[in-house]
Copies of this chain bind each other. A is one copy, B any other.
Amino acid sequence: NDLKRSRHLVSRFAGWALVLAPLAVATGVLGALFLQTLKCVTLWRFHHGWILWGLPVAGVAVALAYRFVTGLFQQRGRTGAPAPFKAFGDGAPLVMVPMAFGAATISHLFGASVGREGTALQMAGGLADGLARLCRMDARRRKLIILSGVSAGFGAVFGTPVAGTLFGLEVTALGEMGYGALLPCAFTALVADQTCRVTSAYIGFERLDGHMSFQPFYSGHWAFTGPDPWLMAKVGVAGLAFGVVSRLYAGGIRQARALSARLCAVQWLRPALGGVATLALVWLCGSDDFLGLGIVAPQPHGASVVNFFGQHHYAWAWAWKLLFTLVALGCGFRGGEVTPMFFIGAGLGNALAPWLGAPTPLLAAAGFAAVFAGAANTPLTCTVMAAEIFGSANLAYYAMACIIAYAVSGHDGLYGFQRVMTPKY
């Protein structure tokens, strides 16, 4: 009986693995190609700054293409939920995969301030949904495979398989994490991450984020003595600031969408508005550091995620990036919401460091993780992500920043589909 049951379980797991493995491999390969494409177009833009003038036209062209190819352009739900979750009701077609890839590439080529993970999740969700329909799955299995796709996309794009696993579990609800999809999410996140790394090595892609690691400064020493209470209090204060800014970000995107809808009734024309506004902002701040991903800057000491971990201080870079991103996302440019948050969080940490008298890389890393934790309501994902990217010597600080940011960021996060299972207060 016990043997029979375990044989049944093994065959069920094997069946799932057969479905999930191709999904994870495809997500990983697509992720690597996507990252390499983004890197190429970003470096190309750095040397051909004039292309920014094309931003309004490019945005309108993408919007029209979306309108033409699919009827999916209408943004349903409270905020721009990533397609995997719209897919529950809408049936995101497989054609969304190349569409999302191309649209995000064009956004980054022309310099819109958007991210990349939204696109990766859309691609993974589209693949998962296609697979679910191919296998004629029921609603419960469909949900499981789409969550696995989300984990795979996150794990592959950020190179953090454990955080990717948790993201698929944590993002669906606020204040509660169910373990129903734990094993499939872990499997796809690991396989997708691994595939993405192998493909990256094959096509010669190297992560720019690799340069912001700062383990050598802190590792080892603090791991044994434990966190310093005074520094922990400073990180707690910074965590409050991260939480407030994550609230500004998530609420700001909603308001920017409403505003652009009020200013321009024709949806496909809104990116033109956003493009012109972005051009005006570049003229206002006199810098093009806030366009695109912002992982590296065109100039050696420009504001960028990597430079925020260095010795220079950038007092208002985070605020400019916030403004640029609200304009781009509010006017309907395609791309993710997370990478700009990395910029805003690390930049705010960098700006707070001299005020609080705390080490700059520590606060930059805490902000990198905590603004995301607050806006997406995923404190554990972000704590683990910080451990995977920055090492675990300062894990308690990252956890503190993420938990406080989560606690003060309110109940209206970035993802409108989150049900509030346990209110924060």
Binding site for B on A (CB under 8 A): 9, 12, 159, 161-162, 165-166, 175-180, 182-183, 186, 190, 193-194, 197, 210, 213, 215, 219-220, 223-227, 229, 232, 379-380, 383-384, 387-388, 391-393, 395-396, 399-400, 403-404, 406-407, 421-422, 424-425
Q: In this complex, what residue of B is CB-closest to A9?
A: B425
Residues of B within 8 A of A396 (CB): 161-162, 190, 193, 388
Q: Which of B178, B392, B400 is close to A392, meaning CB atoms less than 8 Å apart?
A: B392
Tell me the complex Cα distance, A93–B422, Å.
30
Known: A9-B425, A183-B407. A388 touches B380 (CB 8 A): no
Residues of B within 8 A of A379 (CB): 179, 182
Among A175, A190, A406, max chain B CB count under 10 A is at A190
Among A159, A180, A223, A392, max chain B CB count under 10 A is at A392
Residues of B within 8 A of A219 (CB): 215, 219, 391
Question: Are A406 and B227 in touch, CB under 8 angstroms?
Answer: no
Tell me the complex Cα distance, A160–B266, Å.
55
Residues of B within 8 A of A388 (CB): 392, 395-396
Question: Are B175 and A391 in touch, CB under 8 angstroms?
Answer: no
- Closest Cβ of chain B: how far from A324's Cβ, in Å? 27
Known: A162-B399, A226-B193, A395-B162. A179 touches B182 (CB 8 A): no
Question: Are B161 and A227 in touch, CB under 8 angstroms?
Answer: yes
Tell me the complex Cα distance, A121–B406, Å.
27
Question: Are A178 and B421 in touch, CB under 8 angstroms?
Answer: yes
7 A/B residue pairs, CB under 8 Å, sorted by A: A186-B399, A186-B400, A190-B400, A193-B226, A193-B227, A384-B387, A392-B395
Q: Which of B9, B176, B180, B425 is close to A178, meaning CB atoms less than 8 Å apart?
A: B176
Known: A176-B177, A425-B12. A383 touches B183 (CB 8 A): no
New A-B contacts (14) at CB < 8 Å, excluding given A186-B403, A193-B396, A391-B391: A165-B403, A175-B178, A176-B177, A179-B406, A179-B424, A183-B404, A194-B226, A194-B229, A194-B232, A219-B391, A383-B384, A384-B395, A387-B387, A388-B396
Q: What's the number of copies of this chain in the assembled complex?
A: 2
User: What's the dominant secondary structure at chain A's contact region?
Assistant: helix
Q: In this complex, what residue of B is CB-closest to A179?
A: B175
- Closest Cβ of chain B: how far from A191's Cβ, in Å? 8
Q: A-B pairs with the 8 shortest C-beta distances?
A: A392-B392, A387-B392, A197-B226, A162-B399, A175-B179, A177-B177, A180-B422, A186-B403
Among A384, A393, A424, max chain B CB count under 10 A is at A384
Known: A182-B406, A396-B190. A226 touches B421 (CB 8 A): no
Q: In this complex, what residue of B is CB-closest to A155?
A: B396
Question: Are A232 and B190 in touch, CB under 8 angstroms?
Answer: yes
Residues of B within 8 A of A400 (CB): 186, 190
Residues of B within 8 A of A224 (CB): 210
- Closest Cβ of chain B: how far from A202's Cβ, in Å? 14
Tell me the complex Cα distance, A392–B403, Å.
20
Q: Which of B182, B197, B392 is close to A225, meaning CB atoms less than 8 Å apart?
A: B197
Tell me the complex Cα distance, A159–B383, Å.
18
Q: In this complex, what residue of B is CB-closest to A424?
A: B179
Q: Which of B176, B383, B425 is close to A162, meaning CB atoms less than 8 Å apart?
A: B383
Tell me the complex Cα distance, A396–B166, Å.
12
Residues of B within 8 A of A404 (CB): 183
Tell me the complex Cα distance, A213–B210, Å.
25
Tell me the complex Cα distance, A227–B182, Å.
19
